[in-house]
Structure 1
Amino acid sequence: MLSREQLAQEYINIINQYYPMAGRLLSHCLVKIIKLNSTYNRTYYYNLGIYYPDRIGRHLLEQQDVFRDAAENIGLKEVIFFNANSLIRNPNSTIKQQDFRFWLDLCWIAQQKD
């Protein structure tokens, strides 16, 4: 069984191979596998989280069907898009306290220049 990091890397490889334009956009993003619990039937669902900077948001969302199709093909339930700039500027966010390394990754994504 693949780990979450390996599954995310495999997803990136598929996008790069079959959808090069979407792959160029994805190279500016942070891709993570998100595990969600279903309390109703006690099962787990794996979603794909794409954390993107403000500057490519519009272009990334234009390609969302490509990202969703590729995610469904490898067995992921859904693709969720997160604006990294909004997450790090949100005063109610506890990401910095809960997972400081992830918060630094978000800061790095948000501050990237072309």
Structure 2
Amino acid sequence: MITEEDLAQQFTLIIEQAHPRAWTTLRHCYVKVLNSRSKGAYIAHAKYIRIYCPDRLIAAVVAEKDLLIEVAEYLGLVEVVCLNATNLLHDPKLQLKKAYPQLWLDLMWIVTQKQES
């Protein structure tokens, strides 16, 4: 059985190998595959991809969204969601550090890294 982590790795590998221009931006983001459990989901337990981007890269990732959706659909994922990791970390209502410490650490890592050329 393919796990969410396996799907995220496959997604990033396809982008890295087949779309190097998009990879130059995406490699500075945190990619996670999640199960959709919302009542309004049109496919029960469908998987979707969430891409957490530093503030400085969110526009560049959103500009590649059609390509990202194409790769996600190839892997059987139903949606691509891009989130601003910088804003999430600074939102006091979310309390990410307390509720999801590993996610908080991962997001802190991508937000504080310098982008190489």
Report the CA distance between 1:112 and its aligned residue.
1.1
Q: Aligned pair in 2 of structure 1 residues 44, 109: CA closer, same or farther (>3 Å)? A: same
Cross-structure match for 2:74: 73
Report the CA distance between 1:18 and its aligned residue.
1.3
Query: Could you tell me how far apart the structure 2 residues matched to 1:24 and 1:89 are?
Result: 25
Question: Whose strand proportion is higher, 1 or 2?
Answer: 1
Question: Whose helix proportion is higher, 1 or 2?
Answer: 1
For the pair 1:7 / 2:37, whether they are aligned, the reply is: no
Tell me the C-alpha RMSD between the 2 structures: 1.5
Unmatched runs of 5 consecutive residues or more in structure 1: none
How many pairs were matched up? 114
TM-score for the superposition, normalised by structure 2: 0.90
Query: Could you tell me how far apart the structure 1 residues matched to 2:38 and 2:32 are?
Result: 19
Report the CA distance between 1:42 and its aligned residue.
8.3
Q: Which whole-Å deviations, capped at 9, do the CAs of 1:44-103 have from their partners, x for residues lacking one?
A: 011100000011122111111110110011100100001000000001013211110110
**Aligned residue runs from structure 1 range 1-114, under 5 A:** 1-39=1-39, 43-114=44-115
Q: Where has structure 1 moved over 3 Å in runs of 4 or more? A: none
